[in-house]
Amino acid sequence: MTATAGALAQVPVLAAGASAPAPVLIEFDRVAKVYKAADGRPVRAVDSVKGEIRAGEFVSILGPSGCGKSTLMMMLAGLLRPSEGEIRFKGKPVTGPQEGFGIVFQDAVLFPWRTVQDNVRLPGEVRGLPRDEQIERAQAMIRLVGLAGFESKFPHELSGGMQQRVAIARALSLGPSLLVMDEPFGALDAMTREQMNLELQRISLESGATVVFVTHSIAEAAFLSDRVFVMSGRPSTVRDIVTVDLPRPRAIQQMNTDRFGVYVARLRGLLDAEGGHS
Amino acid sequence: MSATAVKPDAPRGQRSVPDSVPAIVTAVALLALWEGAVKVLEIPAFILPTPSSVAIRIVDDLATGVILPHLWTTFIEVAVGFVLAALLGVALGTMVALVRALEKTIYPIVLALQTVPKVAIAPLLIIWFGYGIHSKAVTAGLIAFFPIMVNVIVGLKTVDHRRVLLMQALRAGPVKTYLKVRLPSMLPYLFAGLEVGIIFSVIGAIVGEFVGSSVGLGTLIIQRQATVDVAGVFSVLAYLSIMGLVLSLIIKAFAHRLTFWARSQEIVSP
């Protein structure tokens, strides 16, 4: 496995961040999560996850549905405590939600009684920023996600893709150093999803935030990521890490190239091998 | 959740007849039938008066001002009782929904007390709170309190947990989470409770007056019943229904303004 990964990594390209390694932002140190099932027996959802994520990286967590990716994500976000091991953010163990985190869930989770702008400024409001600053930040983020002109709309007036953009704007509104996204485009149709992938690439390049992106879509992971953590089924652990050495910004057309195809095939191979085991 | 948008109310322009027309036509027809039946069967007015004589009485009661002090007194009783019930219902409902210890201790007692018919407590309340409007307001409040509290509890317990999780991720404390998520999420339930509560308040005030009082629409019904003034009783009933209707319309108007989003939030199309 590692042999193939090495071979791919040797393809000469000008990959972002390939020159000087950025500082490590997140460390997964043998992270495990054990749940109590309904019958009282312990169930290992996540087991001995190890890995590092560097500042500015776009890392996808790729795995089959129900493999515990979301559990790992919740632990990273500080919303769940690991049963074993720890997750470190800037060297300190994550014991709760952190100031520099932005989170996007599978659903937009917008507040239907708030306008787009008021949804986006919620984090600033909670933190107690001055009202003017909240609005200023919100408007900048709304422009960044391409929703200028929709500030005073209510969520029900927006399409699913637009709602998810609002959620991304909200997550970015306090300038997070880490953006955690849990299958944010899973509920969107294929066309919208591609569009959103392009947008997300642009947004992540512009904001410079480190992104940890959970997905079960191979193409999505390959298209967006600098590195892909391929997860195994339950108990979920990192099966392999694939570095996607393609220049940025990437265009959708690149998905049709042979080089992209090689990555997709490799990721699929890893996932299928897993399927064969269980 | 379907992908197609379903509009709860159809566009106005497409309807040639407003919603209320069939109901109004039917009501007029029934009144005409009543009028005709009373005249044809020669039913005496002290048993069943004609709608036209009731209508005349309704106008008379207002013209002479006879109804006004009674209407005002009952309105005050209903309003005070309702406001008390709303405040207490929201406060206690919130505490029961959010504090586990209270859910285990207070809530079962409240549920048990609920089985006591509040109407039957009215005589006691008159002993405790006097012959005036206080005892009626308390009776009204007691009856209206329960549906309001139960709705607050259900509303707070069914708050979308992802919204709460989001607030947690934003490191919001319990007070901010309550004010920004739980309270607004609960509003549609609260208003459902308030709409029931306002009608219950009217019932409570009238029952209180039946048990003992010197002024109020309930008192007037008893007085007129004693003199077999059936048209007069019908007139009071009309004023009572108008009051109930106006009050619940006011609640509905508030609900409409504050929970506009609840009617359309299911509409999601990618």
Q: Domains of chain B: which residue ranges?
A: 71-211+248-260
Nearest neighbour of A79 by CB, restricted to B169, B259, B262: B169
Using left for φ > 0, alpha for ψ between -120 and 50, and beta otherwise, residue A276 falls in: alpha
- Return the pLDDT at B266: 46
Q: How many CB pairs under 8 A join A and B?
A: 67
Q: For the residues of B211-231, what is the DSSP string, one character each? A: HS-SSSHHHHHHHHHHTT-HH
- Return the pLDDT at A226: 92
The encoded tokens of residue A27 equal: 């460390």
Q: What is the DSSP letter of A37?
A: P
The encoded tokens of residue B13 equal: 């322009």
CA gap B144, B195 in Å, rounded = 10
- Return the pLDDT at B149: 93
- Return the pLDDT at B76: 95
CB neighbours (10 Å) of residue A261? 12
At B132-177, the pLDDT tens digits run 889 999 999 999 999 999 999 999 998 999 999 999 988 988 999 9
- Return the pLDDT at B14: 54
Res. B40: pLDDT tops 70: yes
Q: What percent of chain B has pLDDT over 70?
A: 91
Query: What is the average pLDDT across B80-85?
Result: 96
Q: What is the DSSP letter of B82?
A: H
Query: Do residue A11 and residue A118 come from a single domain?
Result: no
Domain range B71-211+248-260, CATH architecture: Orthogonal Bundle (1.10)
The encoded tokens of residue B70 equal: 């009674």
Nearest neighbour of A112 by CB, restricted to B162, B165, B261: B261
Which residue of chain A is at minimal alpha-carbon distance from B173? A126
Nearest neighbour of A97 by CB, restricted to B163, B168, B269: B168
Q: How far is A70 from chain B (nearest CA, A)?
A: 13
The encoded tokens of residue A158 equal: 């927006």
Query: Do residue A196 and residue A270 come from a single domain?
Result: yes
Query: Do residue A151 and residue A239 come from a single domain?
Result: no
Residues 6+ apart with CB under 8 A from A182: A69, A70, A73, A74, A103, A104, A105, A106, A214
Q: Do A126 and B166 touch (CB under 8 A)?
A: no
Nearest neighbour of B270 by CB, restricted to A122, A155, A161: A161
Assess whether the previous peptide bond of A249 is cis (omega < 30° from 0).
yes
Query: Do residue A93 and residue A116 come from a single domain?
Result: no
- Residue B181's nearest CA partner among A154, A126, A179 is A126
Q: Do A126 and B172 touch (CB under 8 A)?
A: yes
- Return the pLDDT at B8: 46
For chain A, say whether B255 makes contact (Cβ under 8 Å): no
Q: Of A207-211, B11-15, B247-251, where does mean pLDDT reach its minimum? A: B11-15
Is A107 within the bounds of a domain?
A: no
Nearest neighbour of B270 by CB, restricted to A101, A112, A160: A160
CB neighbours (10 Å) of residue A119? 25
Q: How many CA atoms lie within 13 A of B109 on its CB side?
A: 8
Measured between beta carbons, the chain A residues lying within 8 angstroms of B261 are 112-113, 154-156
Which residue of chain B is at minimal alpha-carbon distance from A188? B270
CA gap B228, A191 in Å, rounded = 77
Task: Please give the C-alpha separations between residue B95 and each of B43, B87, B102, B187, B191, in angstroms, as whole numbers.
Answer: 57, 12, 7, 16, 18
Is A105 within the bounds of a domain?
A: no
Q: How confident is the model at residue B113 (pLDDT cuts 50, 70, 90)?
A: confident
Three-state DSSP at A116 gives helix
Q: Do A97 and B165 touch (CB under 8 A)?
A: no
Task: Please give the C-alpha separations between residue A236 and each of A71, A76, A214, A233, A265, in angstroms, as whole numbers.
Answer: 10, 15, 13, 5, 21
Query: Do residue A169 and residue A146 come from a single domain?
Result: yes
- Residue A5's nearest CA partner among A254, A247, A250, A238 is A238
Query: Do residue A12 and residue A78 come from a single domain?
Result: yes
- Return the pLDDT at B260: 85
Which residue of chain A is at minimal alpha-carbon distance from B269? A159
Query: Do residue A51 and residue A123 come from a single domain?
Result: no
The encoded tokens of residue A252 equal: 């959708």
- Return the pLDDT at B264: 54
Q: Do A105 and B165 touch (CB under 8 A)?
A: yes
Query: Do residue A228 and residue A144 come from a single domain?
Result: no
Using left for φ > 0, alpha for ψ between -120 and 50, and beta otherwise, residue A85 falls in: left
Task: Please give the C-alpha separations between residue A251 and each of A201, A202, B141, B174, in angstroms, as whole numbers.
Answer: 10, 11, 66, 44
Residues A143-181 as b or e (16 or more Cβ within 10 Å = b): ebbebeebbeebbbebebbbbbbbbbbbbbbbebbbbbb
Q: How far is B94 from chain A (nearest CA, A)?
A: 20
- Return the pLDDT at A63: 87
Structure-token match 């566009």, residue found: B11
- Return the pLDDT at B32: 93
Q: How confident is the model at residue B248 (pLDDT cuts 50, 70, 90)?
A: very high
Is A216:A68 a contact under the CB 8 Å cutoff?
no
Q: What percent of chain B has pLDDT over 90?
A: 57
pLDDT-flagged residues of chain A (< 70): 1-20, 274-278
Q: What is the DSSP letter of A252?
A: G
Burial class (CB in 10 A: 0-12, 13-18, 19+), A55: middle
For chain A, say whether B176 makes contact (Cβ under 8 Å): yes
Burial class (CB in 10 A: 0-12, 13-18, 19+), A191: exposed
Q: Decide if the complex's ipTM is over 0.85.
A: no
Q: For the residues of B84-110, what is the DSSP string, one character each? A: HHHHHHHHHHHHHHH-HHHHHHHHHHH
Which residue of chain A is at minimal alpha-carbon distance from B172? A126
Q: Alpha-carbon torsion A21, A22, A23, A28, what sign?
A: negative
Measured between beta carbons, the chain B residues lying within 8 angstroms of A97 are 168-171
The encoded tokens of residue A211 equal: 């992104």
- Return the pLDDT at A20: 65
Measured between beta carbons, the chain A residues lying within 8 angstroms of B268 are 156, 160, 163
Query: Do residue A152 and residue A189 come from a single domain?
Result: no
Which residue of chain B is at minimal alpha-carbon distance from A128? B172
Residues 6+ apart with CB under 8 A from B212: B123, B126, B131
Q: Indicate the number of domains in chain A.
A: 2
- Residue A58's nearest CA partner among A199, A204, A186 is A204
The encoded tokens of residue B132 equal: 């005036």
For the sheet containing A101-104, what is the strand order? A101-104, A178-182, A210-215, A58-62, A227-231, A238-243
Which residue of chain B is at minimal alpha-carbon distance from A100? B170
Q: Do B268 and A122 touch (CB under 8 A)?
A: no
Is A100:A176 a contact under the CB 8 Å cutoff?
yes
Using left for φ > 0, alpha for ψ between -120 and 50, and beta otherwise, residue B43 falls in: beta
Structural domain span for residue A47? 2-100+176-277
Query: Do residue A68 and residue A192 come from a single domain?
Result: yes
Q: Do A105 and B261 touch (CB under 8 A)?
A: no
Residues in A whose CB is inside 8 Å of some CB of B read 77-79, 96-97, 99, 101, 103, 105, 107, 109, 111-113, 122-123, 125-127, 154-156, 159-161, 163, 187-189, 192
Is B116:B173 a contact under the CB 8 Å cutoff?
no
Q: How far is B270 from chain A (nearest CA, A)?
A: 4
Measured between beta carbons, the chain A residues lying within 8 angstroms of B270 are 159-161, 187-189, 192
Measured between beta carbons, the chain A residues lying within 8 angstroms of B262 are 112
Q: Do B169 and A78 touch (CB under 8 A)?
A: yes
Rg (CA), chain B: 23
Query: What is the average pLDDT across B204-208?
Result: 93
At B41-77, the pLDDT tens digits run 888 888 889 899 999 999 999 999 889 999 999 999 9
For chain A, say whether B134 makes contact (Cβ under 8 Å): no
Query: Do residue A170 and residue A181 come from a single domain?
Result: no
Nearest neighbour of B163 by CB, restricted to A99, A111, A188: A111
Query: Do residue A126 and residue A208 come from a single domain?
Result: no
Residues 6+ apart with CB under 8 A from B218: B74, B205, B206, B207, B208, B209, B210
Three-state DSSP at A84 gives strand
